[in-house]
Amino acid sequence: MRTLTPVALAATVALLSACTSPGGDSKPIAGAAPTACAQLAGTTIPGTRITLTESVAAGTIQLTGVQPGAPGSQAPVPAHCHVQGNINERTGIDGKRYAIGFDLRMPAQWNGRFFFQGGGGTDGTLRDAVGVLTGGGNTNNALSQGYAVVFTDTGHRDEPGPNGPYQFGLDPQARIDNGYNSMAETGRVAKLLIGTHYGRAPQRSYFVGCSNGGRQAMMMTQRYPDMFDGVIASAPAYRVPLASVQAVYDTQLFAKAAAENAPLVDGRPVLSKAFSTADMKLLTNEVLNQCDALDGLKDGIVANWPACKFKPEALKCTGAKTDQCLTGTQVDAITKSFAGVKDSSGKLLYSDWTFDAGLHSPEWTRWRLGDSTTATSNARNIILMTGGLAMFFTTPPTVTNDFWAYAMGFDFDRDAPKVYATNATFRESSMRSVAADSTDVDAYVKHGGKLLFFHGQSDPVFSVTDTVRYVGGLRQRYGTRTDDIARFFSVPNMAHCSGGPATDQYDGLTALVNWVEKGEAPSRIVARARPENRDVTTPGRTRPLCAWPMQPRYNGSGSIEDAANFSCRMP
C-alpha cells in the first residue's frame, strides 16, 4: 500500500505547487517517482477512499447516463488510467449516506494540463470525465487531447421518483457541497492523484463548463482563485435560484395561454398548447423582420441584438386567431416573460431577455413548454428548475412531488425572498452557497487567471443579458483592464449550451489555452452551423463570434456564408 503520510503528503503538495515553464513540458521533481495506475488503489489521501483503479485501452466508451445508441452516447478515449473515489463520506441530518464522488482519467500521453469538467442541472450522477468541450457537435474531447480530466457528482446521487434529484436539498452540507465545496475538494484530490501518478504537477489547470458547469467555473474564480489558470463559463447558471423564480413565472404566464388554446386535462391546462409550432415560427419571423437588418445584412441572424427593440404587440390578432397572429393572452405572456419576473413593487427579480431568431427551435420550446399532451407537464422548467427551487434553493425547503402545483401557487412577494433566507438548520442561503455573482475576482486576477464567457442569444434557461450584466460589473470594477481578464462571446440563434438554428460549433478551449499560455487574447472565434441542427437554413455556414461589445459585420464582398468575409467591429 502506498500511503501519503503527513510528510509524503506535504511533499506531494510541494510538488503540486512547484513552478514549471508555461507552454513547455514540465519536468519530474527529484524524488517524486511516478506511480503506476494499479498502485494508486493503495494510495491514501486523508478524507478520501479510492473505489476504482483500472487501465483503459484506447477506443470508445459508453457514457454513463446516456441511452446506448443515442447521438453522443459514446466518446473516443486514448489509453488512460481511470480512478474513482469518494471524498468526505458522512451521514447527513436526514440519515442518508453522502460523499463527494469523483471520476478521474489520466491519459498515458499527458500534455501536462488538468481539465475540470463542469456539471449540469443539480448533478447527482457520476459522469465520465472525458472532458466535454463547449458548443455543439464536438467529436473530440479534452481527454483525447492529452488532458487529465476530473468530474464530480457534487456530493450526492439522484434518488428515484419525481423529487429524487432534489432530495439532497434537505441536508445543509449537501447544499454547500453542491454549491461550491465539492469542486474545491475534487480539485484538491485530483491534483494530488495526478501528481502521484505522473510524478509531476499539472503545468496549467482549466475549468470548463456550461449551465451549472458555467456557474461552477465562475465560483472557482471567486472562492478558490489559485486553483485554476483559466475557465470557460458557458450559459452560466450563476444566479440559478433567481432564474428558477423566472421559470415559475413563465409557467404561470404560459398556463394562461394554454388554458385559452386547448381544453383542460384533469383540471389543468396542457402547457405545450400555449404556443403552437406555427405560433413560434411566426414569432421568430417577426423578430427577423424587425431586427435582422440592424447590422446591415439580412441573413437570418440578429447580430446587433442590443439594438433590437422587438414588440410582440405587432403580432396581436385584430380578429379571430389564425396562424398569422397571436391572441392577446399569448402576446401578454411573451411580453411579460421577456421583460422579466417582478414583484408587486415592480422590482426585477432576475433579468430581462432578448428576442432572437432561435425561439422556435425545439430546444427552446422543450424548456419553456415541453411537448406533453397530458396534464403532467414535461417542460424542463417544471421538471428541473421548479424542483430545484422547491427543495434546494429556498429555505425552508418545500418537499413535494407536484411541481406544477408548487409553481402555480408560488407568490413572488412571499416566496421569492426565500432564496435569500436562512434558519437554524440552513445557515447559508442558496444565494450565498450557489450564486456566483461576485465581481470581486481580485485574487484570481492577481494569479493571472482568465475568464471566457459564451452564451446563446436564444437561451431559454438563463438570460444572455444577465451574463452581459455580470461582465459589465467586471468592467465597472476593473475598467480597461477587463479585456485582459475576461472576454464574452454571444452566439446568435443558439439555445442552451448548444442547438438551435445556430453557428454553435466552435473551439473555446484552444482560445482559452492560447490566451493563458501564449498571451493571445481572443477577439474573434470562428463558429460553424452544424447540418444536423434542425432548422439550420445554411448548413456549414461559418461566422465569427466577436468579443463583446464588438459585432460581426459583412465586409461587402464574398460569400455571406464564409466567416472570412466578416470583421468584428464596434456597433
Structure confidence at residue 14 as a pLDDT band (50, 70, 90): very low
Q: Which listed residue (80, 82, 156, 496) is catalytic?
A: 496
How confident is the model over 95-121, as pLDDT tens digits?
999 999 999 999 999 999 999 999 999
Q: Which listed residue (459, 466, 498, 504) is catalytic?
A: 459
Structure confidence at residue 506 as a pLDDT band (50, 70, 90): very high
Q: With beta carbons less than 8 A apart as the criterion, state whether 129 and 122 touch.
A: no
Mean pLDDT of 484-498: 97
Mean pLDDT of 339-364: 97
Helix (H) or strand (E) holding 451: strand 450-456
What does residue 4 show for φ and ψ, rounded to 5 degrees?
Answer: -85, 90
Q: What is the pLDDT of residue 511?
A: 98
| Element counts in the chain: helices (H) and strands (E) | 15, 15
Span of 10-14, 263-267, 539-543 with lowest mean pLDDT: 10-14
- Provide the whole-model pTM: 0.94
Q: Is the pLDDT of residue 23 over 70?
A: no
Q: Is 360 a catalytic residue?
A: no
Q: Is the pLDDT of residue 21 over 50?
A: no
Mean pLDDT of 469-488: 98
Measuring CA to CA, which residue among 361, 358, 363, 357 is closest to residue 295? 357
The order of strands in the sheet holding 450-456 is 48-56, 80-91, 97-107, 148-152, 113-117, 204-210, 230-234, 450-456, 486-491
Q: Is 345 a catalytic residue?
A: no
Q: Is the pLDDT of residue 9 over 80?
A: no
Q: Is the pLDDT of residue 30 over 80?
A: no
Q: Is 211 a catalytic residue?
A: yes
Q: Which listed residue (211, 234, 361, 458) is catalytic?
A: 211
Q: What is the pLDDT of residue 537?
A: 76
Structure confidence at residue 6 as a pLDDT band (50, 70, 90): very low
Q: Is the pLDDT of residue 33 over 50?
A: yes
Cell numbers representing residue 349 in the block? 427579480
Hey, is 87 helix, strand or coil? Answer: strand
DSSP 123-161: --S----S-PPSSS-----TTTTT-EEEEE-TT--PPSS
